[in-house]
Amino acid sequence: MDVSDVYGDDSNEDLSLTTVTDYSLYYIDNDDFSGMCRRSEVRQFAQYYVPPFYIIVFLLGFVGNMVVVVIYASYKRMRNMTDVYLLNLAIADLLFLGTLPFWALDAKLGWIFGNFMCKTVKGLYKINFFSCMLLLTCISIDRYIAIVKAVKARASKHKILLHSKLISLIVWVTAVLLSLPDFCYSSKDESQKSCLTVYPGNILKAVGFAIQVTVGFFVPLAVMVFCYSMIVWKLLQAKNFQKHRAIKVIGTVVSAFILSQLPYNSIMIVQAMDAVNITITDCNILKNVDFATQITQSIAFLHSCLNPFLYVFLGVKFRQDLLKILKDSGCMSQEQFRKMMRPRRDSLKRSSVHSETDTTRTLSL
């Protein structure tokens, strides 16, 4: 069935909307769908909502993650697995955010960058999405090992650091492999002025949905819940430790992940079911799915802005390194730097328990 049979005479206007949320792989290309569904209001919503929101996410995320990279490059060395994973996460977030201006322009003007850029941007988009989620999973496991299995972790510190670099490489390779369909099946549709990933069958499309939801949400969520639950249990058994603050940080990390990712992945599950069973045939429902996908996907993107704050800037050492950057760049005087640093040093001196220092560093307290 031709696209124009679904969208009617104004299909050239309405179909380009799907390129903005093509990351979610939702297309109205079901052969069994009959009738016309003109969705110009959805495209108008995308034109006004998507560009400013994506640009704001890009700017905030770029600044935060660039600060992380600069701190690591200027003031820190790779001392443990967490350092390796956090640096890789910042790089993945930066590359991920780098694709958002393309989709912002696409929502406003249609795809104007050609077929090669269509494949490249879509492929990079997915590579960095999968690598971000897998790295978040690795960070959860590393924190579990560092706190729950602290004795074993200290005994093999050098070996663990070497393993972290190898694991990071495996993460990137896995992300590339999972993103191959986007390189293979993405292309510019000249008639629609859009960049689409068109799978050669609904079953393959549903598999794509399933992989993205599984690797991009359920696996990281399951690992987070298990690892952080065990960490909380360990902290509750500890003495002379600021456990309540640590537990609040853990709750914030898990809550931010669920609140940002669950709505979008719920929509994707609905779309995966529709790809197999073609259950959505009502035009109003299709429009509502379009609106929901736009909004929930935007919320999911916010996690790239939050990562530096959830995993890095809460750490005492990183705050000190950030103050050093401000001082060295002339944004802060020497006297202001000393005043800001003195409370940090005093609080560290009052910490009499060695395990507390290790745990706060690991949990980014």
3-state secondary structure 219-258: HHHHHHHHHHHHHHHHHHHCCCCCHHHHHHHHHHHHHHHH
Query: Is the pLDDT score of 241 beyond 50?
Result: yes
Answer left, alpha or beta for residue 27, where phi above 0 means left and psi between -120 and 50 means alpha. Answer: beta
Looking at residues 111-121, what average pLDDT do you find?
90
The closest alpha carbon to 65, from 313, 249, 277, belongs to: 313
Over residues 310-352, the pLDDT tens digits come to 877 766 677 777 777 777 777 777 777 677 766 555 444 444 3
Residue ranges of domains in the chain, CATH in brackets: 3-314 (1.20.1070.10)
Please provide the average confidence, as pLDDT, over all residues in the chain.
76
Rounded distance between C-alpha atoms, residue 135 and residue 158, angstroms: 20
Rounded distance between C-alpha atoms, residue 131 and residue 216, angstroms: 9
The pLDDT of residue 52? 92
Which of 18-22, 61-65, 99-103, 274-278 shows the lowest mean pLDDT across its residues? 18-22
Higher pLDDT, 6 or 249: 249
Rounded distance between C-alpha atoms, residue 241 and residue 325, angstroms: 30
- Which secondary-structure segment (H or E) carries 151? helix 150-155
The pLDDT of residue 4? 29
CA distances for 49 relative to 45, 105, 173, angstroms = 6, 12, 34
Banded model confidence at residue 198, pLDDT cuts 50, 70, 90: confident
Higher pLDDT, 15 or 66: 66
The pLDDT of residue 223? 94
